[in-house]
């Protein structure tokens, strides 16, 4: 990867999930030496700090099926403008979370500058619920459905009626889905490489196929990486751990292959929860994975 301008944007969003602690995720990843790692690769890095986010103790969820809707929409509007500004200035937006509801803002900002966007979504879960299918009301389970134009109009507002084509969404590492969201995913015709496909074909072939899908006919590719796609054996600091995930090396290989392809336009790293972690082990892994996505090599 050629040296890039990288814009680090922290989003300490802790409103999209029931389990507290991911608001400290951006600090944990920064503390792991993210900026220095990227500078050693040769990138110019500017950290613009954190998008302002209210804490849950200062708010009350008004709608049980869309908890903290107004607050999350406001945060994502600000994030969309911040991502848009970074792109205008020639930088690669690197968004640190925080829960995965922030991807609404990341993708909305990207779509303001690129009409045709491909999305690589690394996650144990589908994040394809709407207010009609959600079993929890947690908006961190809704960003992909929102990004393709489904769900509540207020949640879709940051997109300004420009959405991702569902056939340009590819999942990697999925291993648990809610029944309602699984049906929506089938109807939308997104591509899903579950852990079964990763085991069956190997990460190299899965990523090659994924890149063919998200890269063909698109102007930009967004990589959104939920740390829970990695097995909790390697990433214990996640609020929604699920066994049977990617190994540490599989995760690195996936991001190294994406880096080699040279197609990534923006990236999220989300759901690092230091409260559940072991001496910032997951924060360090997140920083190392970002470095792999941005060109770090073993030799």
Q: Is 196 among the catalytic positions?
A: no
Residue 60's CB is within 10 A of a number of other CB atoms, namely 8
How far apart CA 288 and CA 250 sit, in angstroms, is: 13
235 and 252 Cβ atoms separated by less than 8 Å: no
Q: Which residues contact 118 (CB under 8 A, 6 or more apart)?
A: 168, 169, 170, 213, 214, 215, 218, 220, 221, 222, 263
Q: Is 127 among the catalytic positions?
A: yes
Which of 14, 71, 84, 125 is catalytic? The answer is: 125
Which of 84, 123, 197, 256 is catalytic? The answer is: 123
Q: Is 140 among the catalytic positions?
A: yes
172 and 159 Cβ atoms separated by less than 8 Å: no
Which of 228, 256, 268, 277 is catalytic? The answer is: 228
Structure tokens at 284: 């360090």
Which of 43, 84, 99, 140 is catalytic? The answer is: 140
Tell me how long the chain is: 299
Which of 14, 71, 99, 127 is catalytic? The answer is: 127
Structure tokens at 173: 């590492």
Q: Is 226 among the catalytic positions?
A: yes
Q: Is 228 among the catalytic positions?
A: yes
Active-site residue list:
100, 123, 125, 127, 140, 226, 228, 271
């Amino acid at each position: 990867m050629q040296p890039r301008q990288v814009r680090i944007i922290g989003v300490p969003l802790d409103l999209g999930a029931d389990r507290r602690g991911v608001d400290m995720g951006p600090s944990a990843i920064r503390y792991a030496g993210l900026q220095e790692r990227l500078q050693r690769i040769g990138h110019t890095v500017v950290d613009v700090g954190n998008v302002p986010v209210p804490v849950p103790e200062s708010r009350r969820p008004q709608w049980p099926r869309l908890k903290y809707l107004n607050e999350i929409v406001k945060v994502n509007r600000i994030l969309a403008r911040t991502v848009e500004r970074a792109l205008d200035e020639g930088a690669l937006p690197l968004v640190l979370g925080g829960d995965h509801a922030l991807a609404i803002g990341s993708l909305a900002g990207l779509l303001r500058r690129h009409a045709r966007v491909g999305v690589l979504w690394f996650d144990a879960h589908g994040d394809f619920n709407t207010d009609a299918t959600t079993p929890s009301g947690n908006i961190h389970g809704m960003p992909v459905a929102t990004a393709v134009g489904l769900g509540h109009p207020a949640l879709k507002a940051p997109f300004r009626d420009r959405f991702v084509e569902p056939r340009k969404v590819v999942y990697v590492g999925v291993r648990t889905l809610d029944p309602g969201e699984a049906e929506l995913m089938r109807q939308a015709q997104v591509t899903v490489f579950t852990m079964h496909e990763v085991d069956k074909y190997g990460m190299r072939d899965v990523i090659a196929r994924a890149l063919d899908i998200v890269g063909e006919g698109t102007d930009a590719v967004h990589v959104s990486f939920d740390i829970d796609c990695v097995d909790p054996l390697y990433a214990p600091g996640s609020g929604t751990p699920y066994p049977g995930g990617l190994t540490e090396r599989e995760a690195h290989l996936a991001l190294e292959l994406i880096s080699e392809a040279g197609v990534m336009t923006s990236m999220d790293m989300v759901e690092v929860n230091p409260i559940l972690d072991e001496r910032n082990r997951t924060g360090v892994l997140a920083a190392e994975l970002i470095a792999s996505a941005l060109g770090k090599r073993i030799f």
